[in-house]
A and B are shown apart, each in its own frame.
Chain A
Amino acid sequence: QSALTQEASVSGTVGQKVTLSCTGNSNNIGSYAVGWYQQISHGAPKTVMFGNSLPSGIPDRFSGSKSGTTASLTISGLQPEDEADYYCSTWDYSLSAWVFGGGTKLTVL
């Protein structure tokens, strides 16, 4: 069982806005920023969000936010190439470990 909880699957149509969530507790998300990682067809992961900052080369339709112990990744204007598994991750100070969510499979209909 993952320390962070994500939806197993989310779907949307091209052009739609979708939001993926990641829920933790005060030991992790409540105290630290969250990174988001995209994995297409079990290839190498790619970083798409540092907290609420975009890595270079990532389109600005991606945005990140956090409220309390829940972080969110929003994709505005969904594109076919956004179909992937998305993982959230942060540091957990009670575990002295980086923790991941179980991943959300995003399907673009």
Chain B
Amino acid sequence: QVQLVESGGGVVQPGGSLRLSCAASGFTFTRNDMHWVRQAPGKGLEWVAFIRHDGSNKYHADSVKGRFTISRDNSKNTLYLQMNSLRAEDTAVYYCAKAMNRDGYSYFDYWGQGTLVTVSS
């Protein structure tokens, strides 16, 4: 069965950095696009970043552009999110999600359990 396990969350000071990881199993990671999605406390879901299956194309939300970078290591079946210059408003649970393409459209398919990032002094 598909499993996505996030790690790397924690408490960091404003301006600090953190790298999140998402270990994938139960599907062919090298053939699937992936996303990061976050949810601030008491708020809704917010898409953060996307990466193609081979790393050839990446998109980042405007709110994190220039500060966050999505990447992947297909040899390790792992997705990453490097987060720099963190702000209080980046405080959220971060989910990795497997993308699914059907009939030419892209959806979020399976989701991990999430890892909490708290930006606070």
Chain B residues numbered 29-44 whose CB sits less than 8 Å from any CB in chain A: 35, 37, 39, 44
Q: Does A103 contact B (CB under 8 A)?
A: yes
Contact between B44 and A91, CB atoms less than 8 A apart: no
Please, which residues of chain A bring their CB within 8 A of the CB of B76?
none
Give the number of residue pairs across the A-B interface with Cβ within 8 Å: 68
Instruction: Give me the interface of A with B, judged by CB distance under 8 Å.
Output: 2, 32-33, 35, 37, 39, 42-47, 50-51, 53, 55, 85, 87, 89, 91, 95-103
Other than the given A44-B112, A47-B108, A100-B45, 14 more pairs (CB < 8 A) read: A37-B108, A44-B113, A46-B111, A47-B107, A47-B110, A47-B111, A50-B105, A51-B103, A87-B45, A89-B45, A91-B106, A97-B62, A99-B47, A102-B44
